[in-house]
Structure 1
Amino acid sequence: MGSHTSGDGRTEQDVTLRAGYALEADDSCIADARHHAAAFLDQARAGHRVPVSSRVRDLTQLVVSELVTNARKYAPGPVLMELRVTARAVEIVVWDSEPTVPAARAADPGRIGQHGLEIVKAVTESLFIEQEPVGKRITARIALSEHPAA
């Protein structure tokens, strides 16, 4: 991606797009979150020329779905989601009111369900879980490049 200087001297690599969403505490919030993620990435690609591939768009929707599903399943009350995109990555941030930090379980092909965090860890570049004064915040980062180290 080329570097273009804007009027304030920043380059495109410095630009971060952000959008925040308060999701209802009902079953429609998972579909709503996926819709918000797709629309946000479409806007980043069309309006800001961020190179969002179909792979990144699909992975972002998968991660959003898994994180919001877990928040909806285990935490009472609202779920907050923030989406951010830089020249290098998409970040999905989900906050919920449950203070317990989730842990990926050991691989067990016989286990039905509870694979969400394993999936998220497998498809993201990084995953951060932070306890907050109320609840927790989970941040997942998906590289825009097919080869994040490049």
Structure 2
Amino acid sequence: MGMVQLVVSELVTNARKYAPGPCLLDLEVDGGAVQVSVWDSSTDQPSVRAADPERIGQHGLEIVMAVSQTFCVHREPVGKRITASVVLADDPDGDVAGRQAL
């Protein structure tokens, strides 16, 4: 569950830091993965920066995208919803479930 906690922490922290109002967290287990969904009241789209080992901080979305099977941002009538899917278990063959080898 460590990766799910990490994704929740990063997404909720961003929502609290950058959105002017409340935020809502929704967790749903679906097909061996946890869907982490965070809604906030800001209409600003998140800015995913290019990897930069010299930059201090602001790596949250990089981390979320690296450990998530899927990542998407949806505009809503008020605000936006960011959803990331985190796989709960690996394949018996050693491959991370839901990911393709590079």
SS at match of 1:91: strand
TM-score by length of 1: 0.60
More helix by share: 1
**Which structure 1 residue ranges, 4+ long, deviate > 2 Å from structure 2?**
none
Higher Rg? 1
Which residue matches 1:101?
45
SS at match of 2:21: coil
> In structure 2, what is the Cα distance between the partners aligned to 1:135 and 1:72?
13
TM-score by length of 2: 0.86
* Counterparts in 2 of 1:79 and 1:109: CA distance versus 1, 3 Å: same
> In structure 2, what is the Cα distance between the partners aligned to 1:103 and 1:126?
17
- Identity percentage over the alignment? 59
Per-residue deviation, 1:63? 0.3
- The yes-or-no answer on 1:117 pairing with 2:61 is yes
SS at match of 1:98: coil
Q: Which runs of 5+ in 1 are unaligned?
A: 1-56
What value does the CA root-mean-square deviation take over the aligned residues?
Answer: 1.3
- Structure of higher RCO (CA pairs closer than 8 Å, 6+ residues apart): 2
Which residue matches 2:87?
143
| 1:94 partner letter | V
SS at match of 1:142: strand
Per-residue deviation, 1:61? 0.4
> In structure 1, what is the Cα distance between the partners aligned to 2:12 and 2:51?
22
Which residue matches 1:79?
23
Q: Which runs of 5+ in 2 are unaligned?
A: 91-95
Which residue matches 2:93?
none
